[in-house]
Chains A and B, each alone.
Chain A
Amino acid sequence: MTAPEADPRPYGRRAFLALLAGGVSSFAWALPASRIFSPVTSGLSQLFANVLPVGGWRIYTISGSMPVFDPTSWTLTVDGLVERPVTLTYDDLEKLPAAEQVSTFHCVTGWTVRNVRWRGIRLRHILDLAGPLRSAHALRFVSSEHPYEDSLTMEQALLPDVMLALELDGSPLSRPHGAPLRLVIPEMYGYKGVKWLERIEVVAQQPTGFWENLGYDQDAWVGKSNGYG
Chain B
Amino acid sequence: MAEKRRLLRFTRTERAVHWVHATAFLVLLATGLALYLPSLAELIGRRPLLKDIHVYTAVAWAVAIVAVVLAGDRRSLGRTLREIDVFDRDDRDWLRGRKAPQGRFNAGQKLNAAITVAFAILFAVSGAFLWLGERDTRFRFAQTILIHDWLTQISLVLFLGHLYLAVIHPSTRHALNGMTRGWVDAEWAERHHPKWSRGVPPETR
B114 CB → nearest A CB, Å:
4
User: Does B30 touch A at the CB level, under 8 Å?
Assistant: no
Tell whether, in the assembled complex, residue B114 and residue A15 are in contact, meaning their CB atoms are under 8 Å apart. yes
A50 CB → nearest B CB, Å:
5
User: Does B159 touch A at the CB level, under 8 Å?
Assistant: no
Categorize the interface residue count of chain A.
Answer: 35 or more
| B-contact 0/1 string along A110-145, CB 8 Å cutoff | 110000000000000000000000000000000000
Tell whether, in the assembled complex, residue B118 and residue A227 are in contact, meaning their CB atoms are under 8 Å apart. no
Known contacts A12-B113, A62-B48; decide if A6 and B145 are in contact (CB<8 Å): no
Tell whether, in the assembled complex, residue A61 and residue B39 are in contact, meaning their CB atoms are under 8 Å apart. no
Tell whether, in the assembled complex, residue B84 and residue A110 are in contact, meaning their CB atoms are under 8 Å apart. no
Known contacts A8-B88, A64-B49; decide if A31 and B42 are in contact (CB<8 Å): no
- Contacting A110 at CB < 8 Å: which of B37, B110, B142? B142
Cα distance A48–B130 in the bound complex, in angstroms: 26
Tell whether, in the assembled complex, residue B146 and residue A226 are in contact, meaning their CB atoms are under 8 Å apart. no
B146 CB → nearest A CB, Å:
5
Known contacts A16-B114, A53-B38; decide if A110 and B146 are in contact (CB<8 Å): yes
In the bound complex, residues from chain A placing their C-beta under 8 Å from that of B79 are: none
B84-140 contacts to A (CB < 8 Å): 84-92, 110-111, 113-115, 117-119, 121-122, 125, 130, 133-138, 140
A99 CB → nearest B CB, Å:
26
Tell whether, in the assembled complex, residue B88 and residue A7 are in contact, meaning their CB atoms are under 8 Å apart. yes
User: Does A52 touch B at the CB level, under 8 Å?
Assistant: yes
B149 CB → nearest A CB, Å:
8
Pull 22 A–B residue pairs with CB atoms less than 8 Å apart, ordered by A: A9-B92, A11-B87, A15-B114, A16-B115, A16-B117, A16-B118, A19-B114, A19-B115, A23-B147, A26-B143, A27-B143, A30-B146, A53-B36, A56-B38, A57-B38, A59-B41, A59-B42, A61-B45, A110-B142, A175-B42, A227-B138, A228-B142
Chain B residues within 8 Å of A, Cβ to Cβ: 36-39, 41-42, 45-49, 84-92, 110-111, 113-115, 117-119, 121-122, 125, 130, 133-138, 140-147, 150-151, 199
